[in-house]
Structure 1
Amino acid sequence: MTESVAVVIVTFNRADLLARMLDGLAAQTRPADAVYVVDNASTDHTREVLHRHDLPLRVTHSEDNLGGAGGFHLGVKKAYEAGHDRIWVMDDDVVPTPQCLEVLLAQDEACVAAVREDVAGRLAEKAAVDFDLRNPLAIRPKRATVDATYADRAAMPERVELENVAFEGFMFRREVVDAIGLPDASFFIFYDDVDFAVRARRAGYRIWGIRDAVLVRQLDFDQQHDMAGWKGFYMFRNLFVVHFRYGENTLVRLKPYLIAAVVVLLSPIRGGRAEAGNVIRAIGSARSMTRVPGVPSPRR
């Protein structure tokens, strides 16, 4: 049986990157059945880029910036309610190679992910092969990544089991949404993809990185965000939410309080008052997000 596949893209003020990404989708050897684009209130020339007729575009222009998490929640909801068999989520700064979608669809698995390279062809896949929510001494639960485990893509086996993913080339069948619900919009940015992957794995799904399904990432990774700025609040808060929701023992679930205490104690010599304020607000906000999202209501 031929499965229908919908692509879900979230974009915000990166029209030129989005144009390259859409060109990559248009060049697929197996075309997508629908492409849902959530434009998060962009103020650049994104609307002009989306005026094209070589793709089955379904565009939503949000009046407000929903964040990546809100955009993926909305886009996946639309694709799911339209009845598509598989949903392929994508950021606006990656370009799929021509056979990427065809290779993914050949995998008879509920959860698969493309593998990212940079523009120079180097392996740049940051998905975790070890995501530890058992050890309270592991400050960062992501203990090992694909690109730290393999020298290059050629050194990978055809499939690698992943313990978390990014919403950059992750594909799942609709049965996954039936089982665990939609991406959680309340994250706004960061860790919404991790949360979704943890829920999927705890529901019994295995996630496979597919070596020969390749995405080219147009930008370098920049994980060194200003923890005293607005993004720092979300990085702290959403990391804490993952621990509160899914920590496998009491010590792991208490780890956010230790992290917050250390940040506050060290703030006079690093980070400053703004970072300390972020981490204190993050703890309070994360405590209100401990409920795991439910499954979607049946369509009437």
Structure 2
Amino acid sequence: MTPSTEMFDPATATIAIVTFNRSNLLSRLLESIERMDPKPGHIVVVDNASVDDTTEVVESFRERLAPSQLVYRRLETNTGGSGGFSEGMRVAYELGSTWIWLMDDDVEVIPDGLAKMGRWAPRFKSIQGRRYDYDGSEFYWQYRIAERMGIPIPFAPAGFDESGYKPMNSGCFEGMFIHRDVVREIGLPDPRFFIYWDDQLYGWLASRKTQSVIVDEFVLRRTREIKQWDMGIRHLNASSNAYRYYIMRNRAIIKRYYRALGVYNPVLFGLGTFMTFCKELIRLIFVERTIRGTSNLLRGIRDGRKIANDRSWQPMPPLATTSGSAPR
């Protein structure tokens, strides 16, 4: 896939947000979008069956966000971040969006964030911007993975040279800015992950089709404080039992993709899985000060074997070239 040479029109972009029972954070994000200049053509909010006042909050912004068109999708069940982003991508694609900007509800957008991303749109089709952490510090995101092991490289250089960008082979749904051409080729994000590893895999798939980059542009700010263990150069966030389970179970989904695409190396991938398990033990001990939760890691490994042995399992398919409206 060759780099795009088309000029960027903000009206062809859609912001797709996934939310679940955090209407206060969603309200803050929508307020930041209200202050944006320029604004996107559409704003898609995917609600993972929230039981708070999310619906009322979204409706209160419908007129305030004009001239953007607000599209609200409330799902019948909680499909996790993975299912939410898959649905958000689908809706944005079917709206005919040329660019799709994904984000969780616990960030806010810098007022000129879309303009900053748009500056890179004529050159690249898979772009990740930078973000500030809750305390205003520069958030470091692990933009490179060790491909055969399927894990992030935690100490990839943080600095940028005069080019203002660095090649990446990963992805993060907290700010992924992606062109519909790439989405058409690799399909929608896989909802079967539920949570964890879904965006890394999707970014990796994108990097196999186009030059993916992280750019030296601060476009988002995290609005939720997360318990961390400060290791000096990097930090380790707190987790949950659900995350621990899916971190290990979903290694099997990555394995299935790797096998389908001919890049699976059992020794190296097994090493990546072992290192992931060790990292989660360290997270339990040093961040959460407990060893309770280890059973969820083991349960994830057990259930992952079922996925690995399921002969009916198939990767997400590419989208048909006729799917969705023509780009505006």
Give TM-score, length-normalised by structure 2. Answer: 0.77
Partner of residue 149 from structure 1, selected from 152, 158, 161: 158
Match of 1:266 in 2: none
Q: 3-state SS of the aligned residue for 1:50?
A: helix
Alpha-carbon distance between aligned partners in 1 of 2:138 and 2:55, rounded to the nearest angstrom: 32
Q: 3-state SS of the aligned residue for 1:276?
A: helix
| Residue 34 (1) aligns with residue 42 (2) | yes
CA contact (8 A) 1:40 1:64 kept: yes
Match of 2:70 in 1: 57
| Residue 214 (1) aligns with residue 219 (2) | yes
Name the amino acid aligned to 1:16: N
CA spacing shift, 1:103–1:275, aligned 2, 3 Å = closer
CA contact (8 A) 2:82 2:195 kept: yes
Match of 1:224 in 2: 238
Alpha-carbon distance between aligned partners in 2 of 1:106 and 1:5, rounded to the nearest angstrom: 13
CA contact (8 A) 1:241 1:287 kept: no
TM-align CA RMSD: 2.9
Match of 2:323 in 1: 299
CA spacing shift, 1:230–1:59, aligned 2, 3 Å = same
CA spacing shift, 1:45–1:179, aligned 2, 3 Å = same
Alpha-carbon distance between aligned partners in 2 of 1:117 and 1:106, rounded to the nearest angstrom: 20
Q: Deviation digits for residues 41-81 of structure 1, max 9, x if unmatched? A: 11111112102212221001111111111111111111111
Q: 3-state SS of the aligned residue for 1:144?
A: coil
Give TM-score, length-normalised by structure 1. Answer: 0.84
Residue 2 of structure 1: CA displacement? 4.9
| Residue 19 (1) aligns with residue 35 (2) | no
| Residue 158 (1) aligns with residue 164 (2) | yes
Structure 1: 5+ residue stretches without partners: 264-268
Residue 212 of structure 1: CA displacement? 2.1
Partner of residue 125 from structure 2, selected from 107, 110, 131: 110
Alpha-carbon distance between aligned partners in 1 of 2:88 and 2:35, rounded to the nearest angstrom: 22
CA spacing shift, 1:206–1:232, aligned 2, 3 Å = same
Name the amino acid aligned to 1:86: W
Residue 122 of structure 1: CA displacement? 0.8
Match of 2:231 in 1: none
Q: 3-state SS of the aligned residue for 2:154?
A: strand
Partner of residue 277 from structure 1, selected from 299, 307, 318: 299
Alpha-carbon distance between aligned partners in 1 of 2:101 and 2:158, rounded to the nearest angstrom: 25
Match of 2:137 in 1: 122
CA spacing shift, 1:145–1:54, aligned 2, 3 Å = farther
CA contact (8 A) 1:127 1:166 kept: no
Match of 2:173 in 1: 167
CA spacing shift, 1:127–1:275, aligned 2, 3 Å = closer
Name the amino acid aligned to 2:317: G
| Residue 200 (1) aligns with residue 200 (2) | no
